[in-house]
């Protein structure tokens, strides 16, 4: 080899290894294919057999503590029954709860019958079977309630975002289901069906998405948050009510946390306190969301729920070029409170890629002091973006260069993550990319609880 070429080669290798400013921009490279939505006749969208059989079955937490479950489903032909029959494993006594159904119109689309039934006062940590539908179209499912709320209760959350309904979406869901970490509930960081990619936001794609994810969400709760693709704003066709399909289809227990809107609310689950916020609802001072959050944060009792988790669609810290600084106004508004109340982690989506930050804050600025740089802050959350579920818009490859100091790891690949709470001090977080085997972790991080641990976690090292 010519000596110059050798030097050039060495230079390239060294250049690539030298971390730009601290964090890792993973050099894993995947092929640049944008995957299409699965066709409507795909297996994942199959309509269950039987006249008027319940479909699109999904569950979410139905109260503030985890003893309630909201069961939702759709009947296509006629209202049928809104009754849920349920019983604990190894018991004979069958109980019933009766819900209600709603319908909505979207331009010239008429929804099927969307049933919502809340089951309350379940026993903690118990497997329940439940049955929907009538006659030969009865369908049976099951779920397990979480353990009683308490500081050292282990619990594993899955994290999925921006899922859509492409072949990649299906791979992400399969990887989540097959992950040996065994997520017990999903924190969904927004952007569900991407039905709005179709002319007139073809709401049949909301229905197909409901059938696609049923295989997971009928058996474990997905905790919903709304993204921009839930807005479905189409005033030129008379659809000026934001979030109409989403709020008719996905009920959440918002009233249990004193919220006035399903777009922001909180739940306790095991040892976690989860606050869901809405990036696309008013959040400035005096708005309902602001007032609710200001009332909510002081209520969190870290002796009862050590882990304080915030979920919002649009990330406050992201170093990808697309959507760069979209979360900036929200950051200016709320970051100070996340630091004050020691939020452990903020999970977001929106950016179709993966990123994890160090513990960082940027709250010293006061309009004239010029202090506007993010810096390491041992009381600040870690910000994690998992907008990599696999929708039809594809991945985002363009990154801010050099990699900002606060960015600890970033990579544009499809995947999902898990957050495994061990006890009040420790949680283990891992991100999985779809190209790897089910147990492979492409990025991982030990969390030390901000309230219960005096020593900082590994994040401190890199600043
Ligand atoms: C269900 O019952 C109806 C009549 O009650 C019948 O027409 C239909 O074929 C049955 N479907 C299945 C899947 O057995
Ligand atoms: C709704 O309108 C669109 C555009 O005019 C048309 O293509 C579609 O078939 C209509 N759908 C229904 C259910 O009428
Ligand atoms: C989706 O994934 C499931 C589970 O891996 C598989 O059985 C099914 O065939 C896939 N469907 C499509 C359309 O890719
Ligand atoms: C916080 O929770 C603990 C454990 O449940 C309880 O003993 C304590 O009274 C609570 N504190 C407040 C201020 O409610
Ligand atoms: C919490 O869990 C971690 C990881 O499993 C363990 O090392 C630690 O000893 C536990 N702490 C307590 C107080 O149980
Ligand atoms: Fe989004």
What's the pTM value of the predicted model, to 2 decimals?
Answer: 0.93
Q: Are 25 and 179 in contact (CB under 8 A)?
A: no
Compute the distance from residue 156 Cα to the ligand 6 centre, in Å. 25
Q: Whose CA is nearest to atom 4 of ligand 3?
A: 174
Q: Closest Cα to residue 459, out of 385, 378, 404?
A: 378
* Protein residues whose CB sits closer than 6 Å to any atom of ligand 3: 38, 42-44, 167, 170, 174
The rounded distance, in Å, linking the Cα atoms of 131 and 142 is 8
pLDDT band at 5 (very low <50, low <70, confident <90, very high): very low
Provide the β-strand partners of residue 113. 75
Compute the distance from residue 107 Cα to the ligand 2 centre, in Å. 9
- What is the average per-residue pLDDT within 391-400? 94
Instruction: Please report the pLDDT score of residue 135 as a whole number.
Output: 85
For ligand 1, say whether the CB of 50 is within 6 Å of any of its atoms: yes
pLDDT band at 457 (very low <50, low <70, confident <90, very high): low
Q: Are 418 and 438 in contact (CB under 8 A)?
A: no
Q: Closest Cα to residue 227, out of 291, 268, 281, 266?
A: 281
Q: Examine the pLDDT at 112 and tell me if it is beyond 50.
A: yes
- What is the average per-residue pLDDT within 87-95? 96
For ligand 4, say whether the CB of 298 is within 6 Å of any of its atoms: no
Instruction: Please report the pLDDT score of residue 9 as a whole number.
Output: 38
- What is the average per-residue pLDDT within 335-351? 98
Domains of the chain, first to last: 151-190+263-460 (3.60.21.10)
Higher pLDDT, 202 or 29: 202
The rounded distance, in Å, linking the Cα atoms of 388 and 206 is 19
Share of the chain above pLDDT 70, in %: 92
Q: Examine the pLDDT at 16 and tell me if it is beyond 90.
A: no
| Average predicted confidence (pLDDT) for the chain | 93
Instruction: Please report the pLDDT score of residue 2 as a whole number.
Output: 42
Instruction: Please report the pLDDT score of residue 29 as a whole number.
Output: 65
Q: Which atom of ligand 2 is nearest the CA belonging to 109?
A: 13
Q: How many CB atoms lie within 10 A of CB 130?
A: 23
Q: Tens of pLDDT along 196-243?
A: 999 999 999 999 999 999 999 999 999 999 999 999 999 999 999 999
Q: Whose CA is nearest to atom 9 of ligand 1?
A: 50
Within a 13 Å sphere around the CA of 231, how many CA atoms are in the beta-carbon half?
Answer: 12
* Protein residues whose CB sits closer than 6 Å to any atom of ligand 5: 422-423, 425-426
Q: Closest Cα to residue 389, out of 157, 222, 169?
A: 169
What strands, in cross-sheet order, belong to the sheet with 24-25?
24-25, 407-411, 354-357, 382-386, 345-348, 307-311, 272-276, 265-269
Is 78 exposed, middle or buried, given 0-12, 13-18 or 19+ CB atoms closer than 10 A?
exposed
* DSSP 8-state symbol, 234: B
**CA of 138, nearest ligand number:** 1
Peptide bond into 402 cis (omega under 30): yes
The rounded distance, in Å, linking the Cα atoms of 139 and 144 is 17
Q: Are 142 and 130 in contact (CB under 8 A)?
A: yes
**CA of 453, nearest ligand number:** 5
- What is the average per-residue pLDDT within 428-441? 97
**CA of 175, nearest ligand number:** 3
For ligand 2, say whether the CB of 108 is within 6 Å of any of its atoms: yes
Q: Which atom of ligand 4 is nearest the CA belonging to 150?
A: 5
Q: Examine the pLDDT at 26 and tell me if it is beyond 90.
A: no
Q: Which atom of ligand 1 is nearest the CA belonging to 49?
A: 13
The rounded distance, in Å, linking the Cα atoms of 220 and 66 is 12
Q: Which residues are catalytic?
A: 323
Q: Tens of pLDDT along 264-303?
A: 999 999 999 999 999 999 999 999 999 999 999 999 999 9
Mutational test site, ligand 3, from 35, 43, 177, max ligand atoms within 8 Å of CB: 43
436 CB contacts (<8 Å, ≥6 apart)? 442
């Amino acid at each position: 080899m010519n000596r110059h070429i050798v030097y050039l080669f060495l230079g390239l290798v060294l250049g690539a290894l030298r971390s730009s400013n601290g964090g890792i921009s993973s050099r894993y490279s995947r092929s640049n294919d944008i995957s299409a939505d699965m066709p409507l006749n795909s297996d994942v969208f199959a309509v269950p057999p039987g006249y008027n059989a319940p479909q699109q079955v999904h569950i979410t937490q139905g109260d503030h503590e985890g003893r309630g479950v909201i069961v939702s489903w759709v009947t296509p032909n006629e209202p049928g029954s809104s009754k849920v029959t349920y019983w604990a494993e190894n018991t004979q006594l069958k109980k019933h709860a009766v819900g209600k159904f709603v319908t909505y119109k979207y331009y010239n689309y008429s929804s099927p019958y969307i049933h919502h039934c809340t089951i309350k006062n379940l026993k903690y940590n118990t497997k329940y079977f439940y049955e929907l539908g009538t006659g030969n179209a009865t369908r049976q499912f099951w779920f397990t309630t979480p353990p009683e709320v308490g500081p050292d209760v282990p619990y594993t959350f899955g994290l999925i975002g921006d899922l859509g309904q492409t072949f990649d979406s299906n791979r992400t869901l399969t990887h989540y289901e097959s992950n040996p970490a065994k997520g017990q509930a999903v924190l969904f960081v927004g952007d569900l069906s991407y039905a709005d990619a179709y002319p007139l936001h073809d709401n049949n794609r909301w229905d197909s998405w409901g059938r696609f994810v049923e295989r997971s969400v009928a058996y474990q709760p997905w905790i919903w948050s709304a993204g921009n693709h839930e807005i479905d704003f189409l005033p030129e066709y008379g659809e000026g009510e934001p979030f109409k399909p989403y709020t008719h289809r996905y009920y959440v227990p918002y009233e249990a946390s004193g919220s006035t809107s399903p777009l922001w609310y909180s739940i306790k689950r095991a040892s976690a306190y989860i606050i869901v916020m809405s990036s696309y609802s008013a959040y400035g001072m005096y708005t309902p969301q602001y007032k609710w959050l200001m009332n909510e944060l002081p209520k969190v009792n870290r002796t009862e729920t050590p882990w304080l988790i915030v979920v919002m669609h649009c990330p406050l810290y992201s170093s990808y070029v697309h959507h760069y600084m979209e979360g900036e106004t929200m950051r200016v508004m709320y970051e100070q409170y996340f630091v004050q109340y020691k939020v452990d982690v903020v999970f977001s989506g929106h950016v179709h890629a993966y990123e994890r930050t160090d513990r960082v804050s940027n709250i010293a600025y006061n309009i004239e002091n010029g202090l506007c740089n993010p810096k390491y802050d041992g009381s600040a959350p870690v910000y994690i973006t998992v907008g990599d579920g696999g929708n039809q818009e594809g991945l985002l490859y363009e990154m801010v260069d050099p990699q900002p100091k606060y960015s600890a790891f970033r990579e544009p690949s499809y995947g999902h993550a898990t957050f495994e709470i061990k006890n009040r001090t420790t949680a283990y977080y891992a991100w999985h990319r779809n190209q790897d085997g089910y147990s492979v972790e492409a990025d991982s991080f030990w969390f030390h609880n901000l309230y219960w641990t005096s020593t900082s976690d590994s994040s401190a090292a890199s600043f």
